[in-house]
Amino acid sequence: MQKAGELLRGGELVAFPTETVYGLGANGLDGEAAKKIYEAKGRPSDNPLILHVASLYQFKELSGKLSRSAILLAGEFWPGPMTLVVKKNKHIPDVVTAGLDTVAVRYPANRDAQELIRAAGVPIAAPSANLSGSPSPTNARDVLEDMEGRIAAILDGGGCSVGGESTIIDTTTNRVAILRPGGIPVEMVEGLLGAVQLDPALQGVEAAVPKAPGMKYRHYAPKAKVVLCQTFQEIGAAVRENRGKKRKIGVIAQKRVVGCFSRVYRDGAELAEKLFAFLRDLDRKQVEIIYVETVLETGIGLAVMNRLRKAAR
Ligand code: TXA
Ligand code: MG
């Protein structure tokens, strides 16, 4: 932990676990260090990073004036799988925020993440630790697959308990808006604040430009083609049809399917936790197509379906 903190302070990149996905960290107050993140990931420079903190005090130091909603949300859901977009203070380098006058901040619940932030002594700028466009890594092996030779170290904290990324909430507008569904369900946010806005781009409004710049990119995509199926029967039919063609097929569903690479989940929460690892794992088996049984878009299911639609595009 000490060594990882030193590397970060010295301007190097260190990947680390959070309860959502692994992050690719750099000193968030050092523009040169943050720049290395974009290089290592092949990330477009117009896509800002999240600053990770380990206390509410550190959060307040990074922000300008906070809205009442921001204070309520931070008090209720932090530490946890939620990112708040707030007005930034002037010490934050432009590379971190891609030139915006707002900054995204997250206080993760994962103990290793908190300890690392404290060891570094600075907020850690970190996107997910995957190459741009591929599924986010939820274990150290998946980070290594994308980042070997590109970064100084990986802090191995085992698997991520939530598995999907954090919910991103813009608190700088009159009405609070969800920019990316994630680990904290919209229903819980509304339980605290009343009705909130969903970014129109999330509801498939074609012309809408997403307010989280990263949401406009194709994302989360494995090498295999991803096909979404509403019922298990549909999957059965598709697998039978492909059998004659001698294709390698992957299936992610609530029941096991014989004669293909089958991965099983119980419910939306388990699919959220395992989806990215399943997609990477099926790519290693070199399947051509992955059929996925979809879940309802309530609770964590909204975040899961958002990722699946992008993967299937
Ligand atoms: O769970 C997570 O959020 C993980 C872990 C590592 O914390 N991080 C993560 O980072 O998913 P990344 O970079 O893959 O996604 C961050 C998203 C991007 O879509 C980016 O455009 C958006 O946050 N974002 C960052 N700063 C923003 C800002 N000031 N305003 C609006 N969107 C912002
Ligand atoms: Mg990402």
pLDDT tens digits along 238-264: 999 888 888 899 999 999 999 899 999
Nearest CA owner, ligand 1 atom 19? 214
Ligand closest to the CA atom of residue 132:
2
Nearest CA among 129, 127, 135 for reference residue 311: 135
The rounded Å distance from CA 127 to ligand 1 centre is: 6
Share of the chain above pLDDT 70, in %: 98
User: Which ligand 1 atom is nearest residue 164's CA?
Assistant: 1
143-157 pLDDT, tens digit per residue, is: 999 999 999 999 999
Residue 292's pLDDT is: 98
Residue 189's pLDDT is: 98
Ligand 1 neighbourhood includes 47 CB (under 6 angstroms)? yes
Mean per-residue pLDDT of the chain: 95
Residue 211's pLDDT is: 87
Ligand closest to the CA atom of residue 146:
2
The rounded Å distance from CA 233 to ligand 2 centre is: 32
Residue 209's pLDDT is: 80
Residue 22's pLDDT is: 98
- Statement: residue 208 has pLDDT above 80: no
Ligand 2 is an ion; residues with CB less than 5 A from it: 128
pTM of this prediction?
0.96
Q: Of the ranges 36-45, 98-107, 125-134, 204-213, which one carries the lowest mean pLDDT score?
A: 204-213
Ligand 1 pocket test: pick from 84, 87, 95, 128 the residue with the most ligand atoms within 8 Å of its Cβ. 128
CA 82 from centroid of its chain's CA atoms: 10
The rounded Å distance from CA 136 to ligand 2 centre is: 6
Q: Of the ranges 89-103, 151-165, 231-245, which one carries the lowest mean pLDDT score?
A: 231-245
The rounded Å distance from CA 189 to ligand 1 centre is: 18
Q: Of the ranges 14-28, 40-54, 195-209, 260-274, which one carries the lowest mean pLDDT score?
A: 195-209
Ligand 1 neighbourhood includes 37 CB (under 6 angstroms)? no
Residue 245's pLDDT is: 84
Ligand 1 pocket test: pick from 50, 116, 211, 219 the residue with the most ligand atoms within 8 Å of its Cβ. 50
Residue 207's pLDDT is: 67
Mean pLDDT of all residues in 227-241: 94
- Statement: residue 204 has pLDDT above 90: no
Ligand 1 neighbourhood includes 306 CB (under 6 angstroms)? no
Query: How far apart are the C-alpha atoms of 66 and 77, rounded to whole Å?
Result: 16
The rounded Å distance from CA 16 to ligand 2 centre is: 14
Mean pLDDT of all residues in 107-126: 98
Ligand 1 neighbourhood includes 83 CB (under 6 angstroms)? yes
Ligand 1 neighbourhood includes 269 CB (under 6 angstroms)? no
Nearest CA owner, ligand 1 atom 6? 23
Q: Which residues are 251's β-sheet partners? A: 262, 291
